[in-house]
């Protein structure tokens, strides 16, 4: 078994099996050829002798004389039998037991005994049982030839010869071939071992070098002894060792760099296996897990908080990024879990844990500010409205003063009322309390109706307002028409207010495979590039000088964004300074 496991043993046994198989096939073919050749030779000789003997006996009236002459002509191993129609048969004088068995078979065989009637030469090879006690068999070749005696008596002459000489020749040939096969196997073994040693010697050196490389000694080299395929293999092995050393060094550097990046990150990073086992963490993630362990008082069987593991399972099942929130020790964390792929399957996930405590605090302060401002402004608004009504009721000295003051107070009160209402609406939307009354609305008539409301205002400011759509008139969508009308009203009003005379404002509606796209674009003053990321924030105004004198509160776009997001859509803006602005929002089918 140990020899078979080695390359030398496998090659040696393979060569021996191949040579032995070839010699075996060659031996069988040669023996068959030799035997067939000798049998055919015996058949030809016996047939020729039989015809000659038949002719000699026919020419001599004395049968005994003709038979004696024939015996002189025929070789010694051949026996002659003559049979006539009057059952007068002539046998050899020294008939043995083996000859009697052959003669009995000749006269008992129908085809041989009918040679004189058929008048044709007949040949046959037969294997006869000579001695039943010893189960002794011998092969004989028998030839029968017809001839005529005097008085036209049809007779036959039979010649038979033992094939033992053929069998002896075959046995001698077999011994000779076996001897040659033995010599060939010995020589084959010698040359096979010589050739295999030449092949396996460098292979053993490469095996030793491979073990050295496996131990981390990448500088190990294999000597190049030949220029054949094995030499090329040794060259490739040495190149592989150099490349392996280079790549291992590069991987080590990347690993150190990755560890440095993870250690310096402000967010916690946790890498999970599919079964929830933690593979890699960085210091912020360690602090996060320590807080969780402290809160659980160490009584937990899981490696991470249950919320994180639930997100991990969702990522594995859906193969999509998942996000969630978690509160620990008075701090708020946002957790984003993304899948890690191995070829086409998810092999794990990486969780990014971000401490959002400060952001939550600031956001709460902003929301509280909006609520407090809204609450505080209700009373002065009511008072302003009351004074304005008193002035309108002629409390002022002159009618002109009354009306002027009343109009100013009234306009301001309305403005403050809009501010309060916008603040309340925005706070309600951000708190998730927005209620959508959805119904199926035909898109084109609805959008065109909202656009029509601004034709008079656009004409007054000498602005061209147009509506364009490639959507079929019957196409409809499920949404809250009041809320979407508020969004369109805000966008169109903003476009008209920020577009100079002779400018253009265009409202477009398009359709794609997922929903409808609404666009409001103008040729107005545009928005500076640095202000574009903040246009949807509350109270944000890109250019104070540009909005001076306008009636906007700075809350319209924030409200519009919340309405669109409540419909599962999205809103975006594109703008170039002094070239125009384009607001686009998308409403999906579902």
Q: What is the mean pLDDT of residues 544-561?
A: 60
Query: 3-class SS at 144?
Result: strand
List b or e across 300-328, with b for residues whose CB sees 16 or more CB atoms inside 10 angstroms.
Answer: eeeebbebbbebbebbbeeeeebebebeb
Render pLDDT for 283-335 as a digit per residue (tens, 0 to 9). 888 888 888 887 777 667 777 888 888 888 888 888 888 888 888 777 888 88
Burial 51-80 (b: 16+ CB within 10 A, else e): bebbebbeeeeebeebbebbeeebeeebbb
Report the relative pairing of strands 136-149 and 122-131 from DSSP bridges.
Answer: antiparallel
Comparing 104-118, 464-478, 504-518, 544-558, which segment has the lowest mean pLDDT?
A: 544-558
pTM over 0.75: no
Confidence of residue 550 (pLDDT cuts 50, 70, 90): very low
Distance CA 172, CA 115 (A): 36
Both tokens of 241, joined, read 């060792």
Q: Which residue has the higher pLDDT, 123 or 388?
A: 123
Name which residue leads in pLDDT, 245 or 113: 245
What pLDDT digit, counting tens, does each position of 493-513 carry? 999 989 999 999 999 999 998
Cβ within 8 Å of residue 527, ≥6 positions away = 535, 542, 543, 573, 575, 577, 581
Residue 117 pLDDT exceeds 50 = yes
The burial class, CB within 10 Å (0-12 / 13-18 / 19+), for 157 is buried
Q: How far apart are the first and last CA of the chain?
A: 71
Which tokens hold the place of 513? 């495979």
CA distance readout (Å), 34 to 77, 168, 171: 20, 11, 11
Domains of the chain (ranges; CATH) run 31-170 (3.30.450.20), 265-355 (3.30.450.20), 360-430 (1.10.287), 439-588 (3.30.565.10)
Give the DSSP per-residue string, 442-469. EHHHHHHHHHHTTHHHHHHTT-EEEEEE
Mean pLDDT of 435-453: 91
Separation between Cα atoms, residue 394 and residue 456, nearest integer Å:
33
Query: Which positions ≥6 away from 74 have C-beta within 8 Å?
Result: 49, 53, 80, 159
What is the spatial distance between Cα 315 and Cα 339, in angstroms, rounded to a whole number? 6
């Amino acid at each position: 078994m140990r020899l078979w496991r080695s390359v030398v043993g496998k090659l040696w046994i393979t060569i021996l099996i191949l040579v032995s198989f070839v010699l075996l096939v060659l031996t069988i073919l040669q023996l068959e050829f030799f035997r067939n050749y000798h049998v055919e030779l015996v058949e030809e000789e016996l047939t020729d002798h039989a015809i000659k003997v038949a002719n000699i006996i026919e020419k001599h009236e004395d049968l005994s004389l003709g038979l004696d002459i024939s015996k002189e002509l025929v070789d010694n191993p051949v026996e002659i039998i003559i049979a006539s129609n009057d059952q007068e048969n002539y046998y050899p004088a020294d008939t043995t037991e083996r000859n009697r068995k052959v003669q009995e078979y000749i006269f008992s065989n129908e085809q041989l005994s009918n040679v004189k009637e058929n008048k044709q030469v007949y040949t046959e090879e037969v294997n006869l049982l000579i001695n039943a006690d010893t189960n002794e068999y011998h092969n004989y070749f028998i030839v029968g030839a017809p001839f005529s005696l005097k008085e036209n008596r049809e007779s036959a002459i039979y010649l038979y010869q033992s094939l033992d000489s053929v069998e002896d020749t075959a046995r001698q040939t077999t011994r000779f071939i076996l001897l040659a096969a033995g010599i060939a196997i010995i020589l084959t073994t010698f040359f096979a071992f010589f050739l295999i040693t030449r092949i396996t010697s460098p292979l053993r050196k490469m095996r030793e070098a491979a073990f050295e490389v496996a131990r981390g000694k990448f500088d190990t080299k294999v000597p190049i002894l030949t220029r054949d395929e094995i030499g090329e293999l040794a060259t490739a092995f040495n190149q592989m060792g150099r490349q392996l050393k280079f790549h291992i060094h590069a991987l080590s550097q990347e690993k150190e760099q990755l560890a440095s990046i993870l250690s310096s990150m402000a967010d916690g990073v946790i890498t999970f296996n599919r079964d929830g086992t933690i593979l890699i963490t960085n210091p912020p993630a360690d602090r996060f897990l320590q807080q969780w362990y402290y809160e659980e008082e160490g009584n937990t069987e899981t490696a991470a908080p249950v919320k994180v593991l639930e997100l991990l399972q969702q990522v594995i099942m859906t193969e999509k990024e998942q996000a969630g929130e978690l509160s620990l020790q008075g701090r708020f964390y946002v957790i984003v879990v993304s899948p890690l792929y191995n070829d086409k399957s998810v092999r794990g996930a990486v969780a990014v844990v971000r401490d959002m405590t400060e952001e939550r605090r600031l956001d709460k302060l902003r929301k509280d500010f909006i609520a407090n401002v809204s609450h505080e402004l209700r009373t002065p608004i009511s008072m302003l409205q009351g004074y304005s009504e008193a002035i309108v009721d002629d409390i002022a000295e002159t009618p002109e003063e009354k009306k002027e003051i009343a109009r100013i107070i009234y306009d301001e009160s309305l403005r403050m009322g809009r501010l309060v209402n916008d603040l309340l609406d925005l706070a309600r939307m951000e708190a998730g309390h927005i209620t959508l009354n959805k119904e199926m609305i035909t898109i084109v008539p609805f959008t065109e109706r909202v656009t029509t409301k601004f034709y008079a205002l656009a004409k007054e400011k000498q602005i061209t307002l147009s509506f364009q759509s490639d959507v079929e008139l019957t196409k409809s969508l499920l949404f809250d028409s009041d809320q979407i009308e508020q969004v369109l009203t805000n966008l169109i009003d903003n476009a008209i207010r920020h577009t100079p005379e002779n400018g253009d404002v265009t409202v477009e509606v398009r359709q794609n495979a997922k929903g409808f796209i609404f666009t409001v674009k103008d040729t107005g003053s545009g928005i500076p590039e640095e202000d574009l990321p903040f246009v949807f924030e509350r109270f944000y105004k890109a250019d104070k000088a540009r909005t001076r004198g306008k009636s906007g509160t700075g809350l319209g776009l924030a409200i519009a964004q919340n309405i669109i997001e409540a419909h599962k859509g999205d809103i975006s803006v594109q703008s170039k300074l002094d070239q125009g602005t384009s607001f686009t929002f998308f409403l999906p089918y579902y």
